[in-house]
Structures are given as C-alpha cells and as structure tokens.
A = this chain, B = another copy of it.
Amino acid sequence: MKVLVVGANGQIGKQFVTFIQDSEKLEARAMIRQIEQGLFFEKLGAETAVVDLEDDVDAIAKAAKGVDAIVFTAGSGPNTGKDKTIMIDLDGAVKTIEAAKAAGVKRFIMISSFDTTRKAIQESPSSFAPYVIAKHYADEWLRDTDLDYTIIHPGLLTNDQGTGKVNAAPTVDRGEVPREDIAKVIVATLENDSTIGKEFQVVAGNDPVDEAVRSL
C-alpha cells in the first residue's frame, strides 16, 4: 500500500514516513515543498514528489497518481503569516481532497485539530480562531465527499517520546499527546478499514495504539 504524505517534512510527517518505511505493508511517497527536503526521505528509501500546496489541484493530483491512500498532515505552522492559515490549512487541504478525487485515490486520512466544531470556533481566543476556522471548513469539505475518509483529532501535540498508548474515541477529555504516538495512530488507521467514515479525538492514554484504533 503506497501512501502520499502531504506535509511529509513536518514533525508528524517525518516520524510517520520513518515508521512506514520500516513496515512491510506500507510505503511512503513524501510530498515536499523544496527539493532540498528530499534527502531525509531518500535515505529512508521513500519516493518524493516536489509540490507546493499553493500550486493547483492538477499538480497535487499528479503527485497522488498511483498511490492507495493520502495522509494530509500539512500545517502552516505558528511562524508563518496569518494569511497562510487560509491558504494552507484550508485551501491546501481542500485542493488535496480534490486531487484525491481527480487521481482516483479513495482512502484519505486527515490530521485535523482537537476540536473543529462551530462551538470550538466561538470559544477559541481570537489569535487561535483563524486556525480552528480553517480546519473546520477543511473537515466539512472532506465529510461532504464520497472518499473513504478518517479524520483524526489529536490533543495538544508534544515532542515527548511516544508511549505507544493512547485514549481514542469520538470525544475524549482534552490532553496532550506525543507526535510520535499520532504517527503510530495514522499507521493503525491505515491498517484498519473499520475506521473509514469515522473521526476521533486522541490523547495520551492507556490503550495500545492498535487496540485503541481497532475498537473505534
């Protein structure tokens, strides 16, 4: 199963590609913005595709050609201008969804934000609201497709070492979760088709990742 990783050079993306290049069932095609970012992935034996999320749907569809699944884990990050939030977190996500359709890729895993409901938008501090709004509309766009989607809503991401154990359910109490464990959750999601059409929140917890994902 070949997986296009959009946002491969991000913190979750890099760990995820590392995991799946180690696995027997999955292999990655890393979508990166700059050719210099490719070395990391080539060393892992992963394919790369150089596409900017500000490019058009056709460019992304070309990168998606022949893969079996797409994982969207790109984010504009806190260090870019506020205008990038709408361009990457919303429009970049929607263009990737449209590219999946165009390339005939049915399986789509969205790494969303912990809570992207209308209520969460209204309760967000105004500095954070634009990000929640962007993720809200990207999630809505995906729900409205015929793709085999799963939407993962991680808690507050940390760089702590993963424990391999999480608490995953449609709604869980807010909490932290290591990026490494989210990368493992994505792998388990791809390996369990029972997650198709579902979405879930995930924080650090007591259940082994595979068991947590299988029992969703």
Contacts and interface: CB of A to CB of B under 8 A. Distances in A.
Interface in A66-107: 81-83, 85-87, 90-91
A188 B87 CA distance: 35
A130 interface: yes
28 contacts: A54-B126, A54-B129, A56-B118, A56-B122, A57-B118, A81-B82, A82-B82, A82-B83, A83-B85, A83-B126, A83-B127, A83-B129, A83-B130, A85-B86, A86-B86, A86-B90, A86-B130, A86-B133, A86-B134, A87-B126, A87-B129, A87-B130, A87-B133, A90-B133, A90-B137, A91-B121, A91-B133, A137-B137
Interface of A: 54, 56-57, 81-83, 85-87, 90-91, 118, 121-122, 126-127, 129-130, 133-134, 137
Given A86-B86, A87-B133, A91-B133, 15 more contacts: A54-B126, A54-B129, A57-B118, A81-B82, A82-B82, A82-B83, A83-B85, A83-B126, A83-B127, A85-B86, A86-B133, A87-B126, A87-B130, A90-B137, A91-B121
Nearest to A119: B56
What's the number of copies of this chain in the assembled complex? 2
Contacts of A118: 56-57
Contacts of A56: 118, 122
Contacts of A137: 90, 137
Contacts of A83: 82, 85, 126-127, 129-130
A196 B121 CA distance: 31
